[in-house]
Structure 1
Amino acid sequence: SDPPELKIVNRKGDWLAADALPIHDYEKNKAKDYQLVWSPSQYSKDEERFYIVSPKDIVVASPCTIEDHIKWLKDKGRFDEAWQQALAHSETLKLRRRIDPINVGEEYLSSIFNKIVATPKGPANNTNGNDTNDASDTEREKLKQKFGEVCQQVLRDDKARWEKWALAVISQKQLPLIISVLPTANPQLSQSIYQKILNQLMYSAPKFFLNLREKLALFHLSYQQRYSGCFGGHQRTKAKS
């Protein structure tokens, strides 16, 4: 026979959940051998417990918390929904200190970034009449836009996290993903990070290079001295051409 199950229904009779109970020798038990005992909590519904008591086992059941739900969403790869839940319940999560909402956001960022890196870019000219490449490029563009938006939501004024993600996009030569939202103040990143960014942009995306250089000047960063090596390289490149 099948093992016993605990089924949860609402007042309308809708079936919400079902779990098999790990009961030893359940074949020998009858319906009257099981008891459901409720242990209320005076502090929070999350701390309530239910006990399924049988002759040889006691199974403890607890209500599903927001932490449980977020973990379940992440296990299913639904990082977008997990991040939205973390945002909606950020105060509760911070108080209970079981899940850091920002860590959930960074996991969402990682999932977007990995998809961008893994999604092949279609050829410039699609002559075979197949729209697969067009769809792939459209998906990439949506992911790239989403990445910048989520960076601002998650990283905020955290200098260390901004620098970590700047290095991540530099390593994959994906700087355009972050350059439009890259902070130059509040927080202001370290000199070495800006230098690495400018060095890569100078060769891969000159337009972004010039825009960032102007932005750094606007915020009174002495880029001409700080990044003299970078600009010197730029000048040498122009001289060769």
Structure 2
Amino acid sequence: RCNLLWSAPKTLMIGWVDTIRICIIRKRSQIELQTRDATEYLVDPMYTFQTQYFISGLGPLDDQLVLLGVPKDCDPKTQKTQRPVLIVADYKDCDFFELSTDSLNIRGYEEYSCNDYYLDILMEENRFFIVSPKDIVIASPYDIDDKVKWLTDNGRYEKAITVLEEVGGKTSKHSVVTVGVQYLTHLMSEHLYEEAAILCARICKNDKILWENQILKFAEVNQLKAISGYIPKTPEESLSSEIYEMIFYEYLIVDPPGFLKIVQDWNPALYKTGVIINEVLKHLLTTEVDKNIYLEALALLYCYQ
């Protein structure tokens, strides 16, 4: 079947068997009209390409070309017709270059030929309709949101965040924060707390509420130590004092040397020293281990008051 399509008012696409021809309708020059008995307009073939497919349909996509076709060769295993393919190709500079090729999952494709498929187009929306005896498939170019959704659906969160960062951090449907929070949940479900903590610093930046909401997730699984090295620690960017106090308490119980170190390193303006002192005093009543460490930390805390 010959496939004819006007891709522009004066541009005609022709697909015949395995050959594509793109023609321009142009007006003859005065010299041409004077030297021969001819019509005012002519069809001028601009590009001609031979493909590896029997052509079922053609269409324009911006300055590229969409081809619906069936591979010429049969499936080597079944010796039956292969799946139809939808191809986006560039055809500039007299060269036909496939940019993407997608095999279509059409029911009963083994019994069909190229003439059993039809390609229709809604040019205003760049939407393509692939029609077969049993199925109709709707195809359209995917945008950044489609790409991000596909990446997240397939667990490729890191790549999805990178894609969003390259376009300014957000689109109409996704943002580094929303995808990052999904990724964070995934990492924590896999017990990858250090990676999750690094991700927090990447997505939370200076958002105080976002920081605090994510830190509470670490608190729920007793992993505040993992996030403690990445949280904001300057008075200008400080979080609620309760956040720092929760981290102190976890160190107090599970890591006495670490507790002493953050007492030494953290600005006392970040938390209420009286609250931490009370917790240390309570803990000293119930433990005989590492008392010297706790006493040293306690002395520093009294100095900060």
Q: 1:182/1:56 Cα in 2 relative to 1: closer, same or farther (>3 Å)?
A: closer
Aligned runs of 1:94-113 on 2, under 5 Å? 94=171, 96=172, 98-113=173-188
Aligned pairs for 1:1-241 (under 5 A) are: 5-8=84-87, 10=89, 11-13=96-98, 16-21=101-106, 31-32=114-115, 34-41=117-124, 47-53=125-131, 58-91=136-169, 93-94=170-171, 96=172, 98-116=173-191, 144=194, 146-184=195-233, 185-218=235-268, 220-221=269-270, 223-236=272-285
Aligned-residue offset at 1:194: 2.2
Tell me which amino acid in the other structure corresponds to 1:37.
D
Could you tell me whether the CA contact under 8 Å between 1:217 and 1:223 is conserved in 2? Answer: no
Q: How has the CA–CA distance of structure 1 residues 224 and 77 changed in structure 2, closer, same or farther, with 3 Å as cutoff?
A: same
In structure 2, the gaps of 5 or more residues are 1-79, 90-95, 292-305
TM-score, length basis structure 1: 0.67
- The separation in 1 between residues aligned to 2:133 and 2:176, in whole angstroms, is 42
Would the aligned equivalents of 1:87 and 1:101 in 2 still touch at CA under 8 Å?
Answer: yes
Aligned partner of residue 83 in structure 1, secondary structure: helix
Separation in 2, partners of 1:18, 1:26: 11
2:260 & 2:201 partners in 1: Cα distance?
22
Distance across 2 between alignment mates of 1:217 and 1:235: 24
CA RMSD between the two structures = 3.4
CA 1:2/1:206 → structure 2, altered by over 3 Å: closer, same or farther?
farther
- The alignment partner of 1:16 has SS state of strand
Task: Go from structure 1 to structure 2 and tell me whether the alpha carbon gap of 1:182 and 1:14 turns closer, same or farther (over 3 Å shift).
Answer: closer
* % identical equivalent positions: 27
Aligned CA distance change for structure 1 residues 27 and 198 (closer, same or farther; 3 Å): closer
Per-residue deviation at 1:104?
0.7
**Gaps (5+ residues) in structure 1?**
42-46, 118-142
Note the C-alpha offset of 1:84: 1.8
What is the aligned length?
Answer: 204
Letter in 1 for 2:178: N
Retained in 1: the 8 A contact 2:87–2:98?
no
What residue in structure 1 maps to residue 50 of structure 2? none
Instruction: Compute the TM-score of the two structures, normalised by the length of structure 2.
Output: 0.55
User: Alpha carbons of 1:238 and 1:224: their partners in 2 closer, same or farther (altered >3 Å)?
Assistant: farther
1:92-136 alpha-carbon deviations (Å, 9 max, x no partner):
x33x2x12321111222223323336xxxxxxxxxxxxxxxxxxx
Higher helix proportion: 1
